[in-house]
């Protein structure tokens, strides 16, 4: 914009004013729309683990017939991904911009599987490191190079080692003769991130045979690299020796290892894009998906969506360069866990779209008898379709002419009416609806009548 402005014929004063406006304008908040990717036919649950810059998504679906891998595209929807002939269950984890996919295929039971690369939907068994019964593919770049880990033997001892697979070299052990190591992602420059055992576990960045130890956050004993972006920045986590404390971390060459936040246990970053946006998970049993940007900090993704649609976003696994995010969400309305695709927008979500609780009318009547004012009333509660809602709890704040305000709770009947009442001195009474609650519904104050008054002479 500055370049265009400099070339324009605007008068200097106007140009200066526009530049000042640009310099002081606060960045727009980012919100997200949620798309339910559904499941493969006959299944109940699904999870999305990776996406590319075209918005194509991979993950797996689960139901009565067990686990099945899938690929989702906007043109074709969700279609199954074929496993290996001897290992039919597919667990894809990442997809590049050309549609190549990496993951693992197994036969179920005690079989832990082999790393697999899919091209054109056709699976290729990448094998294992020597004497290794198991391998897993985690990351893939646009050249089709794969990063992952495989069991192997060193001096007769079974260990797990990080590997890189290329068409030219096959599967190459990154720590031959060394201790346990794990590779989780690879970028187009051939840089790999993961973690290896060097006293404690330390996140690393590997390229061309050389390891760079990324260290740990202050006060922590371990670090883990889970994702790497085109410029080499790494996202992951850093934890205490006991594991009771874990923080989301990001490593850049300019700033070293940065603490992005998270309290207690189980805080991990799973994805990072070229803008250094980081996504992941906070917590475990009550896990919540997060997004971190330098402009807006660490935010719970559940605070950035239309909450009335019932979604609880549990984990964000990947983010592309357009800012789209994939992961897993639980829906309160149907009780299922589905793969979800989030798309950023600058438009704030509506306060409520579905199952909205609205106070449509407050009727008050007053009379004076027995030396007291008696006020009775009804609050009518309906949803966004105009249907009366029974068994909703209405919270009303009464403001009397004398004395302090106080709250009253009432429940709606079959006609959606909640009876309210109060007594006191003569004068003006105000009833204000401050909340309406019913399980799986959302209070919608902007579309509600919130106050009513009556004067008792």
- β-partners of residue 89 are 106
All residues at 6 or more sequence positions from 409 whose CB lies less than 8 Å from its CB, including other chains: 393, 394, 395, 396
Q: Look at phi and psi of residue 244 and say left if phi exceeds 0, alpha if psi is from -120 to 50, else beta.
A: alpha
Second CATH level (architecture) for the domain 356-456: Sandwich (2.60)
- β-partners of residue 303 are none
Torsion sign across C-alpha atoms 105, 111, 112, 114: negative
**pLDDT value of position 27:** 53
Mean pLDDT of the chain: 93
Give the C-alpha separation, 266 to 326, whole Å: 19
Tokens 């246990």 label which residue? 265
Tokens 């260290």 label which residue? 215
Per residue in 288-312, pLDDT (tens digit) is 999 999 999 999 999 999 999 999 9
Using the predicted structure, report yes or no on whether residue 24 has a pLDDT greater than 90.
no
Per residue in 119-165, pLDDT (tens digit) is 999 999 999 999 999 999 999 999 999 999 999 988 888 999 999 99
Higher pLDDT, 27 or 360: 360
User: Could you tell me the pLDDT band of residue 9, with boundaries at 50, 70 and 90?
Assistant: very low
Using the predicted structure, report yes or no on whether residue 13 has a pLDDT greater than 80.
no
Give the C-alpha separation, 42 to 69, whole Å: 14
Helix (H) or strand (E) holding 2: helix 2-7
> Under a CB-based contact definition with an 8 Å cutoff, are residues 61 and 89 in contact?
no
User: Of 169, 173, 268, which is closest to residue 224 (Cα–Cα)?
Assistant: 268
Tokens 């309406």 label which residue? 436
Polymer length of the chain = 457
CATH class of the domain at 31-345: mainly beta
End-to-end CA, the chain? 65
Average pLDDT value for residue range 274-286 = 95
Using the predicted structure, report yes or no on whether residue 20 has a pLDDT greater than 50.
no
**pLDDT value of position 22:** 39
User: Could you tell me the pLDDT band of residue 12, with boundaries at 50, 70 and 90?
Assistant: very low
Per residue in 236-257, pLDDT (tens digit) is 999 999 999 999 999 999 999 9
Give the C-alpha separation, 104 to 150, whole Å: 11
* Boundaries of every domain in the chain: 31-345, 356-456
Torsion sign across C-alpha atoms 55, 61, 67, 71: negative
Strands (E), 220-310: 222-228, 234-239, 246-252, 256-261, 267-272, 278-282, 288-293, 297-300
β 210-213/200-207 pair status: antiparallel
Q: How far is CA 199 from CA 125, 148, 163, 165, 180, in A?
A: 33, 22, 20, 27, 11
Give the C-alpha separation, 143 to 139, whole Å: 12
Using the predicted structure, report yes or no on whether residue 16 has a pLDDT greater than 80.
no
DSSP state of 388: B
Helix (H) or strand (E) holding 305: none
Token representation of residue 415: 């006609």
Q: Buried b / exposed e across 52-87, counting CB within 10 Å, b at 16+?
A: beebbbbbbbbeeeebbbbbbeeeeebebbebbeeb
């Amino acid at each position: 914009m500055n370049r265009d402005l400099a070339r324009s014929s605007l008068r200097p004063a106007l140009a200066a004013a526009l530049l000042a406006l640009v310099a002081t304008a606060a960045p727009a908040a980012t919100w997200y729309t949620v798309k339910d990717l559904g499941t493969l036919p006959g299944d109940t649950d699904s999870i999305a683990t990776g996406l590319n810059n075209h918005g194509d998504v991979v993950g797996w679906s689960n139901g009565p017939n067990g686990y099945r891998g899938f690929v989702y595209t906007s043109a074709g929807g969700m279609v199954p991904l074929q496993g290996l002939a001897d290992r039919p269950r597919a667990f894809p984890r990442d997809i590049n911009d050309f549609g190549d996919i990496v993951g693992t295929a197994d036969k179920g039971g005690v079989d832990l599987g082999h790393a697999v690369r899919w091209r054109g939907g056709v699976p290729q068994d990448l094998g294992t490191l020597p004497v290794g019964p198991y391998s897993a593919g985690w990351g893939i770049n646009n050249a089709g190079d794969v990063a992952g880990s495989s069991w192997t033997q060193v001096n007769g001892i079974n260990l797990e080692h990080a590997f890189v697979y290329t068409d030219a070299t096959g599967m190459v052990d990154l720590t031959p003769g060394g201790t346990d190591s794990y590779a989780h992602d690879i970028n187009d420059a051939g840089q790999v991130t993961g973690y290896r055992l060097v006293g404690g576990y330390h996140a690393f960045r590997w390229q061309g045979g050389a390891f760079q130890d990324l260290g740990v956050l202050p006060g922590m004993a371990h670090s883990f690299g889970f994702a790497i972006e085109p410029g080499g920045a790494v996202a992951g986590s850093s934890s205490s020796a006991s594991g009771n404390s874990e923080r989301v971390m990001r490593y850049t060459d300019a700033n070293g290892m940065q603490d992005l936040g998270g309290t207690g246990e189980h805080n991990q970053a799973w994805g990072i894009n070229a803008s250094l946006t980081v996504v992941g998970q906070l917590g475990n049993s009550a896990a919540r998906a997060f997004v971190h940007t330098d402009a807006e900090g660490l935010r719970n993704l559940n605070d950035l969506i239309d909450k009335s649609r019932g979604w609880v976003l549990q984990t964000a696994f990947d983010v592309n360069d357009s800012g789209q995010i994939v992961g897993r969400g639980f829906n309160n309305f149907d009780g299922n866990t589905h793969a979800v695709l989030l798309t950023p927008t600058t438009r704030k979500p509506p306060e409520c779209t579905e199952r909205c609780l609205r106070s449509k009318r407050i009727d008050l009547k007053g009379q004076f008898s027995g030396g007291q004012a008696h006020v009775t009333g009804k609050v009518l509660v309906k949803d966004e379709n105009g249907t009366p809602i029974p068994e909703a709890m209405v919270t009303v704040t009464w403001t009397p002419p004398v004395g302090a305000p106080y709250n009253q709770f009432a429940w709606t009947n079959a006609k959606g009416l909640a009876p309210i009442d109060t007594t006191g001195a003569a004068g003006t009474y105000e009833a204000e609806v401050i909340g309406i609650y019913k399980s799986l519904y959302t209070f919608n104050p902007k579309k509600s009548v919130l106050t009513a008054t009556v004067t008792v002479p």
